[in-house]
A and B are shown apart, each in its own frame.
Chain A
Amino acid sequence: MSTDATSRTSMLRTLLHRPYFWGLIAIALLLAVNSLKDPSYLAIGYNANTGSLVGNVIDILRAAAPIAMISVGMCLVIATAGIDLSVGSLMAVAGAVSMELLASAGGSAGAALAALGLALLLGAVLGAVNAVLISVVGLQPFISTLVMMLAGRGLAKVITGGQNTAASNETFRWIANGYVLGLPVVFLLAVLIVIAVGLLVRRSALGLMIEAIGMDPRAARLAGVNRRGLLFAVYIASGALAAVAGIFASASVMTVDVSNTGYQLEMDAILAVVIGGTSLAGGKFNITGAAIGALLIATLDKTVVFLGISSSATPAFKAIVIIALCLLQSQRVRDLFRARRAKTAPVTSDAPKEAVAA
């Protein structure tokens, strides 16, 4: 065997061991299915008027942006062995508050900035409320954020007075509909934010500490890790990222639909995180994986519509994916696989023991 071949196989093996490997395969598969139906599905054109690339793939990238935002936040929360069910509602709140502000403050760039700032602030504050309920009062994350999910949706409706407020502001609109270098701004922003969050948690010690409290809160506490502070950080981050997602979602149509903006997107976020290889039990997390998960969900959404199935049926497909992933994560199924592998190759299963003894 040549060294070239072995290095290629080892590269393939590292990729195979990436938790999001199957996510990438699934995206490729879905795109292939779409190409079968319409061979020109993957074609990308150039629109000289707007200076933008156009095509189905570009649409998918655009749609993935808000999902990626909440998925990244959810990823951090799940790593602490928590959950944030309120992200969808917080998207609506952020959309509502920014649309209301723009509707009254007009079309200036300053108004757009103010709307952005206010939405982010509100998202962070509501995230902090979640954190208080969980780390100070001591409620289960699931129930605290469930309450916030109810209240947040209501708050969005109260902010707009129950209306689906629309506004016009070119700067704000540009966030979701503009192009830079031919790519949608919203996609570029999402990539930047994912990279920024990824660098922040991995270059600082946040990532390690978040994993530590998610894996073993007792041992982490004895090692001096400050659980309460970290919980505040992740829930505030999740709230603020949900606000970003809300801005993306409402800026694309310059309207907030208080009942439907972000509706059930918390489920998409959870799904994206699990696809990305982060266990729902907390611990090791993978931000890149979550972003790829978001991309897969956006692809799935578009595919379902493209194949002529009602878009409201997509939840069923997502459910099947969730169930499959949960089964793969479960001990029972793993034991089954392990037993089978041990039967076929008893030598390899002993290898780690020998290594320890050495």
Chain B
Amino acid sequence: MSAPPIVEMKGISISFPGVKALDRVDFRLFPGEVHALMGENGAGKSTLIKALTGVYTIDEGEVRIDGTPRRLGGTADAQAAGVSTVYQEVNLCTNISIGENVMLGHETRGPLGINWRDTHRRASEVLEKVGLGELDPRLPLSTLSIALQQLVAISRATVTDSTVLILDEPTSSLDANEVENLFTVIRSLRDEGVAILFVSHFLDQVYAISDRMTVLRNGTFQGEFMTADIDQATLIATMVGKEMKALDSLERASSRREVDRSGAPVYRAEGLGRKGSLEPTDITLHAGEVLGIAGLLGSGRTELARLVYGADKPEEGTVRLEDAEAQIASPSQALAARIAYASENRRDEGIIRDLSVRENLILAVQAKRGWARPIPAQEKNALVEKYMNALNVRPADPDRPISNLSGGNQQKVLLGRWLATRPDVLILDEPTRGIDIGAKTEIMEEVIALADEGVAVVFISSELDEVVRLSDRVMVLKDRRKLTELLAGDSLTSDTIIATIAEESAPEDPGSLEPAGTGASS
């Protein structure tokens, strides 16, 4: 790569209240290359993109575009600097025509205002470049599948003669053919000299399209690699990390006890599924067992948890609780059936920012009891005190707004919220993400203690070492379906899980053979 980089970011740091989203991250992008940005959820990929597109202002560091230092104040600034972005949730307007979406802001104008004939003709030309030349640009965008909308968004980026094109998870709702079409377009743009930043959680696709990659983890830079030089297993290991320090104090859970799987399972679902989010999947949970769910982002791990909890309504499958047929179609039904779920999205689906720690903690118990049976003050205080002490919430002031707490302490309060409902089944989705090591260890110790008390715990984490340490059994998911289940034992290590995921290359990906457009649920 002899040409100088078109984008050069050095020592970029961005903080949000309570979190350091990016910590002195370096990144460079060369013209005529496809560069993949890799990392798990919360690694800082989208923060880095938003720093480059001017959505976030950076606290520290420098951005150079084409050699000149830039202060990007917004999307318009970035576009003026030649940086265009196509986001995962296609940012077009479905209420207007395809051609207009391509040309909006760049229409041909004549004496009578916009010349629609010419505008649509030019739109057709631009669409031709991404292989959509035959499309009638006068049809509304809403008539197109998400896949085609994605291509329309890319063709919009080419109208502005961008030198840098950022594609944020462009393939998350495309099927295999559509992905190939997209790749054809990406390659031809690359050959024209456009620098393309490609973000995807599908490893196979990253290997198919990218020339170079940068890996982030927990907001830090892990390295820049030529794609040809790094194999899948090494990449996954770099992405998920091996945070041994946090785990040293923990004994391996499974080595300490035997799980009795002979009785009726606490929870058993057969063929639990929902179009566009999860293939029919069987899942069985036993009392006193920690079931780990391993899989990369987008593998269906969160989708499975949400279906079990009724946060999304299952479209198929039967559920049995202690061998009795049951129907769980909403969170309140799940709570009544003593199932609790801590969402991975702590900010939007977990804490209620403006409520106090106390109120956040008792909310689920209260919802379960109903409005007319308020928890007596004494009992409430005892409950709050119990869980704040047990989980070591700091600061120990229940009347403080929860938004004042650090991420780890917020997570502990949420864990307390679900524990207070005395669940038989507790699903923890990424409970250790974005929190400090001390809180991490405390939460994992709590998980083991719960299992010892007889709770069936489902533990989802992208930190494979954590999954291995805690779980008695591990379910491995990929591409929205279950690959296998592995029993804990000396042979189960994070490397075996990585190998399972990496080996299972699925060109005939059954998870995405759905007709286009059904993935629009996101």
A218-B348, A218-B349 known; A223 and B404 CB under 8 Å? no
Does B366 touch A at the CB level, under 8 Å?
yes
Question: Which of the residues A208, A211, A215, A356 comes within 8 Å of B405, measured between beta carbons?
Answer: A356
| Contact between B395 and A358, CB atoms less than 8 A apart | yes
Q: Are A226 and B355 in contact (CB under 8 A)?
A: no
- CB-CB under 8 A from A224, the residues of chain B are 331-332, 334-335, 364, 367-368
Is A324 an interface residue when CB atoms closer than 8 A count as contact? no
Q: Is B348 a contact partner of A356 (Cβ separation < 8 A)?
A: no
Find out whether the CB atom of B404 lies under 8 angstroms from the CB atom of A216. no
Contact of A208 with B363 in the complex, beta carbons under 8 Å: yes
Binds B, one of A46-54, A128-136, A199-207: A199-207
Residues in chain A near residue B331, CB distance under 8 A: 221-224
B352 in contact with A204 (CB, 8 Å): no
Q: A223 near B348 (CB under 8 angstroms)? A: no
Select B343's contact among A206, A222, A225, beta carbons within 8 Å.
A222
What are the residues of chain A within 8 A of B161 when measuring CB–CB?
none
A203 nearest in chain B by CB position: B374
Q: Please tell me if the beta carbons of A219 and B354 are within 8 angstroms of each other in the complex.
A: no
Within 8 A of A (CB), among B328-366: 331-332, 334-335, 341, 343, 348-355, 359, 363-364, 366
Q: Are B332 and A283 in contact (CB under 8 A)?
A: no
A284 interfacial contact with B, CB 8 Å: yes
CA gap between A109 and B357 in the complex, in Å:
51
Asked if B394 is at the interface (CB within 8 A of a chain A CB), the reply is yes
Partner of B404, one of A203, A205, A218, A356: A356
Give how many A residues have a beta carbon under 8 Å from the other chain's beta carbons.
27
**B308: min CB distance to chain A, Å:** 13
**Number of A-B residue pairs having CB atoms within 8 Å of each other in the complex:** 83
Q: Does A292 contact B (CB under 8 A)?
A: no
Q: Would A283 and B354 count as touching, CB distance under 8 A?
A: yes
B106 at the interface (CB under 8 A from A): no
Closest-by-CB residue of B relative to A218 is: B349
B417 on interface, CB distance cutoff 8 Å: yes
The verdict on A39 contacting chain B, using a C-beta distance below 8 Å, is: no
- Taking the closest CB of chain A, its distance from the CB of B331, in whole angstroms, is 5
A111 to chain B, nearest CB (A): 34
Q: State whether the Cβ of B3 lies closer than 8 Å to any Cβ in chain A.
A: no
Chain B residues closer than 8 Å to A206, beta-carbon distance = 371
**Interface residues in A187-246 (C-beta closer than 8 Å to B):** 203-206, 208-209, 211-212, 215-216, 218-226, 230
Cβ–Cβ < 8 Å partners of B516 in chain A: none
Residues of B within 8 A of A316 (CB): none
Q: Are B348 and A226 in contact (CB under 8 A)?
A: no
Contacts of B332 in A (CB 8 A): 224-226
B104 at interface, CB cutoff 8 A: no
Q: Is the CB of A215 within 8 A of B374?
A: no
**Complexed CA–CA distance, A226 and B333 (Å):** 10
- Residues on A with C-beta less than 8 A from B355 are 208, 211-212, 215
Give chain A nearest CB distance to B145 CB in angstroms.
25
Residues of B within 8 A of A216 (CB): 348, 352-353
* Interface residue A345 (Cβ < 8 Å from any Cβ of B): no
* A219 partner residues in chain B, CB cutoff 8 A: 348-352
A355 within 8 A of B: yes
Q: Which residues of B contact A220 (CB under 8 A)?
A: 352, 363
Also in contact, A223 and B417, with CB within 8 A (given A212-B363, A215-B352, A352-B404): yes
Closest to B394 in A: A358
Are A222 and B374 in touch, CB under 8 angstroms?
no
A20 CB, nearest partner CB in chain B, Å = 18
The count of chain B contact residues (Cβ–Cβ below 8 Å) is: 37
Question: Whole-angstrom distance between the alpha carbons of A357 and B353 in the complex?
Answer: 19
> Which among A211, A224, A352 has the greatest number of chain B C-beta atoms within 10 A?
A224
Contacts of A211 in B (CB 8 A): 354-355
In the bound complex, do residue A209 and residue B343 qualify as a contact, i.e. CB atoms below 8 Å apart? no
In contact, A208 and B404 (Cβ under 8 angstroms): no
Give chain B nearest CB distance to A147 CB in angstroms.
24
A220 to B311, CA, bound (A): 11
How far does the Cβ of A183 sit from chain B's closest Cβ, in whole Å?
32
Q: Complex Cα distance A356/B406, Å?
A: 7
Given A223-B417, A356-B404, the answer on whether A205 and B366 have CB atoms closer than 8 Å is yes
Find out whether the CB atom of B352 lies under 8 angstroms from the CB atom of A212. Answer: yes
What is the CB-to-nearest-CB distance from A348 to chain B, in angstroms, rounded to a whole number?
15
Which residue of the partner chain A has the closest CB to B340?
A224
With both beta carbons as reference points, the residue of chain B lying nearest to A221 in the complex is identified as B331
B1 / chain A contacts, CB cutoff of 8 Å? none
Write the nearest CB–CB distance from B418 to chain A, whole angstroms.
9
Cβ of B29 to closest chain A Cβ, rounded Å:
34
B30 smallest CB distance to A (angstroms): 39
CB neighbours (8 Å) of A215 from chain B are 352-355
Determine whether the beta carbon of A222 is less than 8 Å from that of B354.
no
Which residues of the partner chain A approach B354 to less than 8 Å between Cβ atoms? 211, 215, 283-284
Smallest Cβ distance from B400 to chain A, in angstroms?
8
Residue B208 at the A interface, CB < 8 A?
A: no
- Separation of A211 and B368 alpha carbons in the complex (Å): 16
Judged by a CB distance under 8 angstroms, whether B372 is at the interface is yes
Across the interface, name the chain A residue whose C-beta is closest to B335.
A224
When distances are taken between beta carbons in the complex, the residues of chain A under 8 Å from B348 are 216, 218-219
Contact between chains at A226 and B367 (CB < 8 Å): yes
Take A218-B349, A222-B349, A356-B395 as given contacts and tell me if A208 and B364 are in contact as well, using a CB distance cutoff of 8 Å. Answer: no
**Residues of chain B with a CB closer than 8 A to A356's CB:** 18, 395, 404-406, 409
Assess whether A205 is in contact with B371, with CB atoms less than 8 Å apart. yes
B242 contacts partner chain A, Cβ-Cβ < 8 Å: no
Complex Cα distance, B341 from A223, in Å, reads 9
Contacts of B121 in A (CB 8 A): none
Contacts of B372 in A (CB 8 A): 204-205
B386 at the interface (CB under 8 A from A): no
Nearest CB to that of B343 among chain A residues? Answer: A222
CB-CB under 8 A from B352, the residues of chain A are 212, 215-216, 219-220
- A residues within 8 A CB of B405? 356
Interchain CB contact (< 8 A) of A223 among B18, B353, B363, B374: B363
Q: Which residues of A contact B343 (CB under 8 A)?
A: 222
Identity of the chain B residue whose Cβ is nearest the Cβ of A211 in the assembled complex = B355
Cβ of B148 to closest chain A Cβ, rounded Å: 29
- Docked-complex contact B395 and A204, CB < 8 angstroms: no
Q: Give the residue name and chain of the A residue nearest to B348 (CB).
A: A218
Task: Tell me, in angstroms, the Cα distance from A223 to B354 when the chains sit together.
Answer: 15
Residues of B within 8 A of A358 (CB): 394-395
CB contacts (< 8 Å) of B18 on chain A: these are 356
Q: How far is the CA of A350 from the CA of B395 in the complex (A)?
A: 16
* B369 in the interface (beta carbon within 8 A): yes
In the complex, chain B residues 353-408 whose Cβ is within 8 Å of any chain A Cβ:
353-355, 359, 363-364, 366-375, 394-395, 404-406
For residue A193, give the distance in angstroms from its CB to the closest CB of chain B. Answer: 19
Which residue of chain B has the shortest Cβ distance to A202 in the bound complex?
A: B374
Q: Which residues of B contact A283 (CB under 8 A)?
A: 354
- Which chain A residues border B350 with CB–CB below 8 Å? 219, 222
B364 touches which one: A223, A226, A357 (CB < 8 A)? Answer: A223
Identify 23 residue pairs between A and B in the complex whose beta-carbon atoms are under 8 Å apart, listed by A's number.
A204-B372, A204-B374, A205-B371, A205-B374, A209-B371, A212-B352, A212-B363, A215-B352, A215-B355, A218-B349, A219-B350, A219-B351, A219-B352, A223-B367, A223-B417, A224-B335, A224-B368, A225-B363, A226-B332, A226-B367, A283-B354, A284-B354, A358-B394
Supply 8 further A-B pairs (C-beta < 8 A) apart from A220-B352, A221-B311, A224-B364. A205-B369, A212-B363, A216-B352, A218-B348, A218-B349, A222-B309, A225-B367, A358-B395
The 4 A-B pairs of least Cβ separation, nearest first, read A224-B367, A224-B335, A224-B332, A205-B374
